[in-house]
Amino acid sequence: MTSMEMAHFPILTAILMSTVLGLIVIMFIPDGRDKLVKQVSLVFSGIGLILCLWLYHAYDVEKGGLQFVERTLWVKSLGIYWFMGVDGINLPMLLLTAVVLFTGVLTMWELENRVKEFFAFTFLLVAGVYGVFMSMDLFWIFVWYDVSLFPMYPLIAIWGGTRKEYGGMKLTLYLLAGSVLILPGIIYLWAEGGAHTFDLFELARGGFSPQVQNIAFLMLYLGFGVLAGVWPFHTWSPVGHVAAPTAVSMIHAGVLMKLGAYGILRLGMTLCPEGLVYWADLMALLATVGIVYGAFVGLAQTDLKYVIGYSSVSHMGIVGLGLSTMTVNGINGAVFQMFAHGVMTALFFSAVGYIYDKTHTKMIPDLGGLSKTMPVASAFFIIAAFAGIGVPCMASFWAELLVFISAVQTYPVRGIFAVLGLVVSALFMLRVVMSTFYGEKNERWAHIPDVPMSLATPRIILVGVIVFFGLFPRMILDVIQSAVIPFVSSL
């Protein structure tokens, strides 16, 4: 009965509002009260996390389908709806967003420069991310998508590190260049749909001619692909990651890049199944190239953040490969990988963030033997590296396993190349771990204290999530599957 009662409570809007209200409250805090800003941010991101956890718990896996639906007519003459709901695909994404935001806020606890603006922009960004994941209306998906992109510019250009202005500008222009295809793609589908509605499911029911689907799918795939780091549109990603401050890297690589893959899945594949079939080959090819390319380029990097940046390209390739198989296992794995990779990169960047804050370098040759001076900080990075390689008991193990099984079945040659790419990426991860944390101790860093408890908390949460879903993969796979099975059977 409780679920009936709660169904009337607009929980999704509440989650979205937790960030919007947080943003407004932060804006009205007088200057100089930095501590208060951080506390307020923590409270509001905490509210979001609790609501998301509750949502995850309350979602009825047996029933499946779209739940907690809110639907109101927004703009009559265009058929735009305030339409939100969760199913097995976006539910893990919402949880991921909440976890990464919460830990991101904690990670930035020591920020001193322009604190208020930092958290305001971060909340705006996350409001956009939540919005994209919840909305089931094309207009709103695009609105939130852009809302989540443009705060990246100030966040990187003001608080960033290496070549921050270049990195910020490149990233912003690249990502918005993706919108160049997405927006016309969306409106094109609206115009061709005839029913004049932006409601995702109504459009999908209406169906489109194969030719329209081919054009629209390509537009959506390339448009969202830029954000998903699809090779060869990935070049903004390592540069942007390196330039961004820690929490922004976390949110960006952890959550924002998932928006791209999610967009391909939710818009492209749902609305244009025939377009997907037509272009699946290209998708698989680009994804495989991305996996292999990311791994090899990662091998040559000397900057810790570049290493993670290229490993992200490689890992997002796995997501793309999983989607392109059009099988239950493949898409299951892809969605799981989105979640697992999100948590993992967040951990990666927050681990590097601490090291960089203290040593002011992230060049691998300058470091070395860090595990002796700061064992805890090193442990976080090493765990993330293991997760990245796909060691069992880590969440990404299951995800990568599922994707590779179905990839080898669907595209034997590419699947094998992708697996080889994974081996190379294991190689470069281990190489980085070895030369950064083991080997000769660099005396310059001997005096540096290890991570204090307050800063370790967010990292421990992330490790906890990785291991939890590594040990109990069904906790998330059942949820994902409840949406993927009907989806694949409808293809």
Question: Which residues of the shown chain bind another protein in the complex (CB under 8 A)?
Answer: 74-78, 117, 139, 142-144, 146-147, 150, 153-154, 157-158, 165, 169, 172-173, 176-177, 179-181, 183-184, 187-188, 190-191, 215
Closest separation in Å from C-beta 269 to another protein: 21
Reported as type and span, the H/E element at residue 71 is strand 67-75
CB-nearer residue toward another protein: 260 or 342: 260
Closest separation in Å from C-beta 154 to another protein: 6
Q: How far is CA 261 from the centre of its chain?
A: 8
Reported as type and span, the H/E element at residue 68 is strand 67-75
Is the Cβ–Cβ distance between 179 and 142 less than 8 Å? yes
Closest separation in Å from C-beta 421 to another protein: 32
CB-nearer residue toward another protein: 56 or 74: 74
Q: What is the largest CA-CA distance in the chain?
A: 70
Closest separation in Å from C-beta 13 to another protein: 14
Closest separation in Å from C-beta 271 to another protein: 15
CB-nearer residue toward another protein: 131 or 388: 131
CB-nearer residue toward another protein: 184 or 439: 184
Q: At what angle do helices 164-193 and 236-243 cross, to 10 degrees?
A: 130
CB-nearer residue toward another protein: 104 or 131: 131
CB-nearer residue toward another protein: 177 or 420: 177
CB-nearer residue toward another protein: 149 or 399: 149
CB-nearer residue toward another protein: 123 or 380: 123
Closest separation in Å from C-beta 356 to another protein: 21
Closest separation in Å from C-beta 110 to another protein: 22
CB-nearer residue toward another protein: 144 or 262: 144
Closest separation in Å from C-beta 218 to another protein: 12
Closest separation in Å from C-beta 184 to another protein: 5
Q: In three state form, how does the secondary structure of the chain look?
A: CHHHHHHCCCHHHHHHHHHHHHHHHHHHCCCCCHHHHHHHHHHHHHHHHHHHHHHHHHCCCCCCCCEEEEEEEEECCCCEEEEEEECCCHHHHHHHHHHHHHHHHHHHHHCCCCHHHHHHHHHHHHHHHHHHHHECEHHHHHHHHHHHHCCHHHHHHHHCCCCHHHHHHHHHHHHHHHHHHHHHHHHHHHHHHCCCCCEHHHHHHHCCCHHHHHHHHHHHHHHHHHHHCCCCCCCHHHHHHHHCCHHHHHHHHHHHHHHHHHHHHHHHHHHCHHHHHHHHHHHHHHHHHHHHHHHHHHHCCCEHHHHHHHHHHHHHHHHHHHHHHCCHHHHHHHHHHHHHHHHHHHHHHHHHHHHHHHHCCCEHHHCCCHHHHCHHHHHHHHHHHHHHHCCCCCHHHHHHHHHHHHHHHHCHHHHHHHHHHHHHHHHHHHHHHHHHHCCCCCHHHCCCCCCCHHHHHHHHHHHHHHHHHHHCCHHHHHHHHHHHHHHHHHC
CB-nearer residue toward another protein: 128 or 368: 128
CB-nearer residue toward another protein: 6 or 73: 73
Closest separation in Å from C-beta 89 to another protein: 23
Closest separation in Å from C-beta 175 to another protein: 10
